[in-house]
Amino acid sequence: MLEFLLRTVWLIPCYPLLGVVLALPWFPGIIRRTGPRPAGYISLLLTGLAFAHSLLALQGLWGQPTRAMLLPWLHVGSLALDFPLEISVVTLSACALVTGLNLAAQVYAITYMEMDWGWARLYALMALFESGMCALVLSDSLFFTYFILEILTLGTYLLVGFWFNQPLVVTGARDAFLTKRIGDLFLMMGVLAIWPLAGTFDFSELAIWAKTAQLDPTLATLLGLALIAGPIGKCAQFPLHLWLDEAMEGPLPSTILRSSVVVATGIWVLVKLYPVLALSPVVLTVMVTIGVISAIGGSLIALAQIDAKRALSFLVTAYMGLAFIAVGTGHGETALLLVLTHAVAMALLVMSLGSIIWNNVTQDLSQFGGLWARRPITGLAFLGGMVGLIALPPGGSFWAILALGDRLWATYPGLVGVLALVNLLATFGLARVFGLIFTGKSQPMTERSPESPWPIILPMVVLLGFVLHLPLLLYSWQLLPSWASINPAVATVLTVSSLIGLSGFWLKPIVIPWQPLHELLANDFYTTKIYRFVIVLPVVLAANLTAFLDRYFVDGLVNMISYVSVRSGQILRYSTNGQTQFYMLTVVVGVAFLMGMMMVL
């Protein structure tokens, strides 16, 4: 039975995809009689199947070597585009994580989206994401990775644009699509360039090729930069980070996925591509630099956000920045560990936040307060997520960040300082959010606030249990560093930075005391405005200029020729005056002219 499930692993992405297809008739109102709910239940059922399949397959593969599978797709001349599956413990665990979190988010959405008319669309899109991500982690091919990332970009557009009646949502969806697309197109350039060079798209074969490849350093750098641009967009790293912030206009159940696993796809791709990227030291330096900027920038911006969802979303950028640092310094496995601990903890935080937002009808941090007594389960979930996310022993991320710090200590001690700083800021930011929501006095918006119904509470509590048990699981999977190898200095620095950060519980500033700094951070370093001048304006100008030339120059020339012909005909018709002498004269002059021309030539 398990063997059969292993052999049919390719079905895992297919279940949710089937859910998408089955949900479709409800969206444009082809089926009206039942209301949109059945679409959601079908999708839930199929997600459950995918989850069960992943878990059982994982159990079947445990302790066995990695398997490979090839699904033929398209052969054109020498170009062979087959879908290679890598079936390993890591990929199946990733599938289980994706489907599990998706199941939780979809159950969550039953209540969260209770009164919404877009059920079919929401569930179809969430299932699309699930399917895409499962296929992404299973695929061992750069081409199909690009293929799926691009589909997910479209998915982001539609999911962020879910409540398309609101103007902010519309611009948010547009920006999400276009920023991600910029990253994707650079990735596509990389894909196009790598085929003539390496002759393969398989990650494993690319790694072998990279060992012996003799590439011009400039070419290697350009190739590497193109390849990391895709993940920069996916992971919302500077300078392509603004979409994640605007994506917060989308429905919250999708945010659970986006903040936890969708952004992580970028890191996954980077880890797979590392051998190629390592061909150029410049690329690695760029990755680390971008990671540092995003980590510090993201955690700083989060401090100045009034919107609760945004205060969390910038921390996602910050943590993905840490993962960028990890990959850039050659610690791909640590990056994946960090991504795992981040994913579950962040999903829990978003769920807890959603539970508050759902029945307090606001996400403005300045309007909350004193909810600890009324919402203990939600509050505990938030604390659990926080412990799981910051570097505070024994939380999951502590071990991941510690492992990273240990490895950087000898080579890049400065980066350990960055880790501590980001951890401090992130802790402070989370503590601030917790403090503003749960402690202090009640406000008008929080006077009445019963605990949420079971579809919200159940997945949240299950996930809370998982987050709290994660260190034990990691221990039993031998993913934690051994006691002997732990660097006490790093552990102390990280723990102390977390403890200092916890002061946010009491300080909990709504605005940063120094106004200009607050403005700078609250407006995300004015990125939107800068983009409007640096990118949007030139494109609009170029478009309008080309359109102007097209209309008045290219087409104008054509119209002028026709005008001249018509006009000259109209003028010349008055020369038909019936005098034979005049016609004769014209003929003679014409013949003389032609003969003259022939003599000259």
Judged by CB under 8 A, does residue 218 bind another protein? yes
Per CB under 8 A, does 84 bind another protein?
no
Decide: helix, strand or coil at residue 72. Answer: strand
Quick note: the x/- pattern for another protein over 107-126, rule CB under 8 A, is: ----------xx--------
Among the listed ranges 398-406, 421-429, 477-485, 545-553, the one in contact with another protein (CB under 8 A) is 545-553
- 429, two tokens: 């930011």
CB closer to another protein, 183 vs 332: 183
Provide the β-strand partners of residue 295. none
- Distance (Å) of CA 15 to CA 23, 46, 53, 266: 12, 5, 10, 23
Which of residues 15, 51, 157, 319 is near another protein by CB under 8 A?
A: 157
If you write DSSP's letter for every residue of 414-435 in order, what string do you get?
HHHHHHHHHHHHHHHHHHHHHH
Which residue is listed with tokens 């593969």? 61
Q: Choose which of 62, 73, 526, 583 interacts with another protein (CB under 8 A).
A: 73
- Looking at residue 26, the DSSP 8-state letter turns out to be G
Q: How far is CA 170 from CA 146, 161, 164, 479, 500, in A?
A: 25, 6, 6, 43, 40
Q: How many residues lie near another protein (CB under 8 A)? A: 60
- Under the criterion CB under 8 A, does residue 14 sit at the interface with another protein? no
DSSP 490: H
Between the two ends of the chain, the Cα-to-Cα distance in Å is 92
The residues facing 69 across adjacent strands are 85
Are 72 and 110 spatial neighbours (Cβ–Cβ below 8 Å)?
no
Nearest-approach distance from CB 414 to another protein, in angstroms: 32
In this chain, which of 4, 164, 454, 563 binds another protein, going by CB under 8 A? 164
Asked if 544 is part of the footprint of another protein (rule: CB under 8 A), the reply reads yes
- Is residue 11 within the footprint of another protein (CB under 8 A)? no
Is 170 among the residues that bind another protein (CB under 8 A)?
Answer: yes
Residue closer to another protein, measured from CB, 507 or 534:
534
Find out whether 300 and 428 touch, Cβ atoms under 8 Å: no
Q: Give whichever of 80 and 89 is closer to another protein, judged by the CB atom.
A: 80
CB closer to another protein, 170 vs 474: 170
According to the binding rule CB under 8 A, does residue 543 interact with another protein? yes
Among 34, 65, 216, 410, binds another protein (CB under 8 A): 216
Nearest distance from C-beta of residue 112 to another protein, angstroms: 19
What is the nearest approach in angstroms of another protein to the Cβ of residue 221? 10
- DSSP label at 74? E
Nearest to 415 by CA among 283, 280, 324: 324
Report the alpha-carbon distance of residue 351 to residue 341 in Å, rounded: 16
Nearer to another protein, 82 or 307 (CB): 82
String of contacts with another protein for each residue 19-38, x by CB under 8 A:
--------xxxx--------
The one among 70, 168, 373, 558 contacting another protein by CB under 8 A: 558
Q: For residues 195 and 227, what is the distance between their CA atoms, to the nearest angstrom?
A: 13
Nearest distance from C-beta of residue 491 to another protein, angstroms: 45
By CB under 8 A, residue 181 contacts another protein: yes
Residue 215 CA to residue 282 CA, distance in Å, equals: 14
Taking Cα atoms as reference points, which of 382, 377, 302, 315 lies closest to residue 342? 315
Question: Least distance to another protein from the beta carbon of 79, Å?
Answer: 5
Render 152-189 in DSSP notation, one character per residue.
Answer: HHHHHHHHHGGGTTSHHHHHHHHHHHHHHHHHHHHHHH
- Answer for the pair 490, 417: CB distance below 8 angstroms, yes or no: no
Binding site for another protein (CB under 8 A): 27-30, 73-79, 117-118, 146-148, 150-151, 153-154, 157-158, 161, 164-167, 169-170, 173-174, 177-178, 181-182, 185, 188-189, 192-193, 195-197, 215-216, 218-219, 222, 539-540, 542-544, 546-547, 550, 554-555, 558, 562
